[in-house]
Every structure is written in C-alpha cells, then in structure tokens.
Chain A
Amino acid sequence: MAITIFLVFVFFVIGLSLFLGNKTKTSKAYYAAGGNIHWGVNGIAFAGDYLSAASFLGICGMIATLGFDGFLYSIGYLAGWIVALFVVAEPLKRLGKYTFTDAVDANYNSRGIKLTAAISTLVVSICYLIPQMVGAGVLVQPLLGLPHAWGVIMVGAIVITIVATAGMASTTYVQFIKGLLLIVFSSILVGAVVVRGLSTQPDQGGTVEFHRYADLSAQISGDQIVVDDPQYTVLDQQEIKGGYKFVNLSSEGLETWWYVSETGSGIVLHETQSTVVKADGKWINGAIESESNTLRMVGNLEKIDGEGNVETGKLNVFSFLAKLSDKDTIFRTWKTANFVDSANQKVTVYYPQLVTGDQFMRPGLKFKVEGTGLEKLDFLSLMIALFLGTAALPHILIRYYTVPNPASARKSTIIAIAAIGFFYILTLFMGLGAAINGSINPADSNMSAPLLARSFSEILFAIISAIAFATVLGTVSGLIVAASGAVAHDIFDRYLKIKMTDQQKVRAGKITAFAIGGVAILLGILFKGINVSFLVGLAFAVAASANLPAIVMLLFWKKTTAKGIAASITIGILSSLILIALSPELYTLYGRNPLDAPVPLNNPGIISIPLSFITLVVVSLLTQKKKEIE
C-alpha cells in the first residue's frame, strides 16, 4: 500500500513536470514560472516550499524527544515570515528579476555583488539541501525497505527531473500540491491523536503490545555492582562522561545493558535498549539483528495526573495539552549513550529518563535556559537566526518573482503565514502524539511523525510518508532552482558575461540543476543521522548573516554602497560557516570532545549577523567617495 501510494505520487509529479516542461522555453518561464502565478497558488506554494523535512520530520522528532524546545523552532520559523512580509516582500518584487542577486544588485550593477550574492545563494542552498536529503534517506528505509543512500539517490533523481523539465513552473505546482496535502493530512493525524487520548500503556489500538521496562534493585560492594535478583550476573560496568553508569547483565543466556541510577537507599538498574557491534554482526537487545529483532519504538506516559494504568479516552485540544503540562504527569523519554565495552566492542545504549509534564512542556530539555550565561546566549542566538533567517533564504525570495505584481507578493505572503502558522500549531500535537504513543525510533527521531501515523493505520502511514517524501521533493526542487539560477544566471550570464541565447540560458540552468542535484545526493549520504531541524537552524543562521543585512540596508540606508554589500555578504558567509565548523555540536559530529570546541556556541547568529551589519556600514562609509564619483 505504502509503495503504491508513493509511486502514484511520484509518477504524477513527474508527469506534471513533463507536461509543464513543454511550455517552458524561455528563461523567464524557467526561473520565474513566467511571472504570472496567482497569489493564492503562490501562497500555498510558499508553504510547500518552506515546510521542509525540517518542519515536518525534524520539528516533530524534536518535540517527541525533547518536548517544548522543538516547538521553539516552529515559533521562530513562523515569526520569520513577519520580516518577509513587512520588510522584504514588496520592495524585493519591485527590484528583482529571477534571483536574490538580481534584487541586491538592481541599483548597483556591481561584479562584486554578483559574485558574492551568487556564492551566498549557493552556500545557503547547499546548507539547506543537506537536511532535506538526510530526511529523504530516513523516510525511504521504513517506507520502501531500502537503505538510506538509495532514498537520497531516488529523491535526487526525481528532483533533477522536476527541475530540469520545467524549472520554477513545475516546482511551483509540486509545492502547491504538497503544501495542501501536508496541511490536510497533518490535521487528520492530529484529530486522530486527540480523539485517541492518553494512555500509560499505549498499544497503538491493540496492534503493538506495550513493553513495560523493568527495574532491578542492586547494591554496591566495593566498586562492583551486585544485583539483588540472583538470576542476573554482572558482566561489565562502564561509566561515561557526565558520570552516567551502565552495567551489562547476563540472565538465561541473554546479555543486556542496564542504566544505573542511585537513590537514597541503594541502586536501581533500569532496563535499556542497546546495540553492540560484534565480530559476527550487530546485536540488538542481546540477540543478533534480524527482521524480527529490531529496536522497539519508544515513548510513553508513566503517569497521567499522578495516576498509573490510566486511559483518558477522547480529549479536546486544550485538555490534551493541559494533561500533558501537569506536574504530576510523567513522560518516559529516552537518551543515547555511546561507549566501547571491556571487550572493545562499540556499544550504543538507549536509556530511559523520567520527565515531569511541567518540565517537558516548557523550554529547558535541549536549550538550557536555566543554565550558564553561554547556554542562554546560545538560545538567544538561535531565536535571532530563526527570526531573521526566513527573509534571507534564496529559495523563498525567488518565489516573489513568480507573481505578477508587488500586491500579489504581499497577498501570497499572507496566505503563506496562515497556512504555515496553522501547520506549525499542528507540529506540537504531532510531536507530543509521537512522544506518548510509542512512535519514536530511539536511534533516529526524524521518523516520529510518520511512525505516529503508522500507530493508527498502515494506510495513514503510507499517505503521510508519501507526503513527507513530497515535502522533501518540493523543498529540494525550490533549492535547486535557486542554486541553478545562482550559477547559470548570476555567474555565467551576469558575472562572466558569457553570451547566450534565451534557450541556451535555459539549457545552462538545467545542466546546473543536474550538477547541484549530484552534490546534494552526496551530502545527503554523508550527513546521515543528524536531526534535520538542527541542520536547518544552521542554514537559517548562514542565510541571516550573509543575506539579510544586504537586503535590509539597501532598502533602508541610502549610504549603502556596492562594496559594502559585497563585503557584508562575504563576512556573513565566512563568519557563520567558521563559527559553525568550530562549534561544540560539530565537534561531536567529528567524534571529538565538544568541550574542546574553540567556539562555545552552537548557533552563530548572535555574532555573525551583527558582524555582517557592521561590515556593511563600515565599508559603505569608507567607500562613499567612490559612490559619489560613480
């Protein structure tokens, strides 16, 4: 069923692209869909473009595992549209032709701006492409049973077909259809979650038996842990950074890892899930990996309003959130620990943590708002980047050129705000639904929303997965159009001044789309396993640092010069990328100690955005004379 729905959608999209491809003969048709898309269609296409894998997969996954902190992304992403509407939409529509570069260079005709703005478009688009492709790989595993890399390759191939056939026209209609489907079926999913209500033993409508995780009491003898139950023998003990302890127990021939927590009266061992890489393959929860032995999906409530063994039945949206926010409601959440055991085998343990409802439903589990000054600064930095990033994303900006006039640009932005805002409210319910219905893959939170759909029915899972796949297709198409415009239009045509006929320009755009699609496939395979919303947050920081100062200042500061814009874009890109590369989160990705990272912030916006603004002002002031002479 899932495969059928998925294939129907893919063939429909490709058919539509081929149909529209026959009408796409000019560069205006290829890069701006002829500039005559209706604002209503463009508004939903905006939503289809913007609601990427990060919004659907990443945010839902983050809410499912880290509670309200994930919803902060929804709030920030939506708030960014206010900048787009009030500051950027109409002026940009008046200035530009096909690309972001056209708009910033409109009053200057500067080679420096052409080159730096085109590079910025490429860099931001590639940063944004990575999480989309990672999301594609994540989806294809449970949907089609194919490895991650095949999902990435498949999306790359389909998107290249969409973009190379009809450019912005096919991209617009794919995004429009996907935007509509996403909102409609997410609403259905949220309705189902609220009607099902809450349970401390979620069995997904009786289809999946609820697994109750065991606890064992133990004592410390010297530095050795001894389990009270004589059936269990301790084989190994490991302590990781932060003082977290784990023991490997053997019972009836089964070797399992347990998480050690100390209480006032002794020690409690909590059952975990684990993977161990042995010489004969990967072992999961004490047995070799097989079709019937995979990691169990997790996420449930231990108590609701202080009571265990409860089922609430049908709730409304307010009572659903109210019960989950209660201090006496307890969530069983899961964390991950990696270490090497005494037999030199790589072990990954997924261990439980109990979190109260009032903690889960307010910021703090990911962003340490009650932590040190630096941790607070990191949170502030993220919120600034999310707020300022939207209006600086090249693939969003080019959508302003597909409508006939500035008023349509404004109206389509308002439709986008309505559609995107509504969807983001749904993300909170979908993420929480996954957190309490045993719908989280402990090894990869990105699949939480589709797995939540599976907890209701295979058909809903198939539809939601196909839409999630379409989500990736829609956004990646927009990104590739933006990136191919940067190379073929901005660099080849405008910067290098290679003389091309209109048809040759279209062909150059298509060839570039192929090349960028190839790069996207490669990066999607390399970045497997990273939370997609986190990666998109970084793309926002790069966009806000590189592009926003240029857009805002050229609109509102008359002393802005071409050199000022070019310098600001350059500094914005370099500073944000360097800060990200030296951040603790990236150090973890490199396999190094995050405490050794030279930059203590994960989110660079608070440094790189002001730096880019200051650069523009200083360089513009220093180059005023030249401007006057020009």
Chain B
Amino acid sequence: MLHEPATPAAKDPSGPYKIKLGVRMFIVYMLFYAIFVAINLIFPKAMGMIIFAGLNLVTVYGFALIIFALIEALIYDFLCHKKETFYKKQEESTGEA
C-alpha cells in the first residue's frame, strides 16, 4: 500500500512550470549566497569595508541575503499564482465550451 497524501491534491497543470521556475530561482539565490561565503573565505578583510551609511560590507550583504530571500519568494508566488490562474481559466473555458 502506498502512502497517499493527507489531503488528495488535484491535478496541477502548472506543476512542471513551477518546478522549473523554483529551480532557476533557487540557483540565483544559491549563487548570491555562494558569493557571500566566497568573499568571507577569499577576501575576509574586504567584509570590514564600510560601504553604506557607516555599515560594513558583511552587514549590508547579510541583510541583503535576508531581504532578497523574501523578494524572490514574493516574485515566485506571484508567477506561480499567475500560472495557476491561467490554467484555471483555461480549464473553465474548456469546461464551458
């Protein structure tokens, strides 16, 4: 017996699009994160450079990583929702026809 989901999920035609989008956005964030780690390892002193409003690079970059995560998440949700709505409308119009 397989482990069926707790709440059966309806067929999702936007699934492949969301997976592809998710992977791409994940790669973008991962690169941003990897650059942060790399600067710490390769040019650790550069992280102490004051770059904005008296704040050093590592503080600004650290905050940017947190804020960028939220921005990417909102963009992802917006694009997924748009695609889901598109397919929903298509399904409705096909049903009506």
Q: Identify which of A362, A376, A411 gathers the most chain B CB atoms within 10 Å of its CB.
A: A362
Residue of B nearest to A316 (CB): B53
Q: Is the CB of B97 closer than 8 A to any CB of chain A?
A: no
Decide if A85 touches B44 in the complex (CB within 8 Å).
no
Contact A81 to B69, CB < 8 A, known contacts A97-B3, A102-B3, A370-B45: yes
Q: State which of A206-214, A283-291, A399-407, A540-548 sits at the interface with chain B.
A: A399-407
Report B17 CB to chain A, min CB distance, Å: 11
Interface range on chain A: under 10, 10 to 19, 20 to 34, or 35 or more?
35 or more
Contact A406 to B69, CB < 8 A, known contacts A32-B6, A97-B5: no
Decide if B26 touches A91 in the complex (CB within 8 Å).
no
Interface residues in A299-326 by Cβ distance below 8 A to B read 318-319, 321-323, 325-326
Number of A-B contacts (CB under 8 A): 163
Report A112 CB to chain B, min CB distance, Å: 15
A421 to B29, CA, bound (A): 15
Q: State which of A259-267, A412-420, A521-529 sits at the interface with chain B.
A: A412-420
Q: Is the CB of A335 closer than 8 A to any CB of chain B?
A: no
Residue of A nearest to B19 (CB): A91
Q: Which of A95, A101, A362, A424 contacts B66 (CB 8 A)?
A: A424
Decide if B5 touches A96 in the complex (CB within 8 Å).
yes
Residues on the A chain within 8 Å of B10, using CB: 405
The 0/1 profile, CB within 8 Å of A marked 1, for residues 66-97 of chain B is 11011011101100110010000000000000
A369 to B5, CA, bound (A): 45
Decide if B47 touches A95 in the complex (CB within 8 Å).
no
Q: Is the CB of A196 closer than 8 A to any CB of chain B?
A: no
A345 to B5, CA, bound (A): 61
Decide if B44 touches A411 in the complex (CB within 8 Å).
no
Residue of B nearest to A421 (CB): B66
The 0/1 profile, CB within 8 Å of A marked 1, for residues 1-41 of chain B is 11111110110100100110011011001100100110011
Interface residues in A502-539 by Cβ distance below 8 A to B read none
Decide if B26 touches A421 in the complex (CB within 8 Å).
no
Decide if B7 touches A405 in the complex (CB within 8 Å).
yes
The 0/1 profile, CB within 8 Å of B marked 1, for residues 357-386 of chain A is 011011110000110000010011001000
Q: Which of B7, B25, B36, B73 contacts A404 (CB 8 A)?
A: B7
Decide if A413 touches B41 in the complex (CB within 8 Å).
no
Q: Which of A82, A318, A321 contacts B29 (CB 8 A)?
A: A82
Report A557 CB to chain B, min CB distance, Å: 13
Contact A87 to B22, CB < 8 A, known contacts A68-B58, A322-B55, A421-B69: yes
Residues on the A chain within 8 Å of B23, using CB: 86-87, 556
Which secondary structure dominates chain A's binding surface? helix
Report A403 CB to chain B, min CB distance, Å: 8
Contact A321 to B59, CB < 8 A, known contacts A78-B65, A86-B22: yes
Residues on the A chain within 8 Å of B2, using CB: 106-107, 109
Decide if B58 touches A363 in the complex (CB within 8 Å).
yes
Decide if A410 touches B80 in the complex (CB within 8 Å).
yes
Residues on the A chain within 8 Å of B3, using CB: 96-97, 101-103, 105-106, 109, 494
Decide if B72 touches A82 in the complex (CB within 8 Å).
yes
Report A316 CB to chain B, min CB distance, Å: 10
The 0/1 profile, CB within 8 Å of B marked 1, for residues 420-432 of chain A is 0100110010000
Decide if B5 touches A93 in the complex (CB within 8 Å).
yes
Residue of B nearest to A36 (CB): B7
Decide if B53 touches A363 in the complex (CB within 8 Å).
no
Report A139 CB to chain B, min CB distance, Å: 26
Decide if A417 touches B59 in the complex (CB within 8 Å).
no
A380 to B34, CA, bound (A): 10
Report A488 CB to chain B, min CB distance, Å: 15
Decide if B6 touches A82 in the complex (CB within 8 Å).
no
Residues on the A chain within 8 Å of B45, using CB: 370
A71 to B65, CA, bound (A): 12
Q: Is the CB of A90 closer than 8 A to any CB of chain B?
A: yes
Q: Is the CB of A94 closer than 8 A to any CB of chain B?
A: yes
Decide if A75 touches B36 in the complex (CB within 8 Å).
yes
Residue of B nearest to A359 (CB): B48
A439 to B74, CA, bound (A): 38
Q: Is the CB of A98 closer than 8 A to any CB of chain B?
A: yes
Report B16 CB to chain A, min CB distance, Å: 11
Q: Which of B1, B41, B48 contacts A109 (CB 8 A)?
A: B1
Contact A417 to B73, CB < 8 A, known contacts A75-B62, A87-B23, A318-B54: yes
Residues on the B chain within 8 Å of A36, using CB: 7
A418 to B26, CA, bound (A): 17
Contact A79 to B54, CB < 8 A, known contacts A85-B73, A86-B23: no
A471 to B30, CA, bound (A): 29
Decide if B54 touches A319 in the complex (CB within 8 Å).
yes
Decide if A325 touches B54 in the complex (CB within 8 Å).
yes
Query: Lowest 8 CB-CB distances: which A-B pairs, in order?
Result: A322-B54, A86-B22, A102-B3, A86-B26, A369-B44, A35-B7, A35-B6, A421-B66
Known interface pairs A97-B3, A101-B3, A417-B73; 17 further A-B residue pairs with C-beta atoms within 8 A, sorted by A's residue number: A32-B6, A35-B6, A85-B22, A85-B76, A94-B9, A318-B54, A318-B55, A319-B54, A322-B53, A322-B54, A325-B56, A363-B58, A379-B37, A380-B37, A410-B76, A421-B69, A428-B62
17 contacts between A and B (CB under 8 A): A75-B65, A79-B69, A85-B22, A86-B23, A86-B26, A90-B18, A96-B5, A106-B2, A359-B48, A363-B40, A405-B7, A406-B9, A407-B84, A410-B80, A414-B73, A421-B66, A424-B66
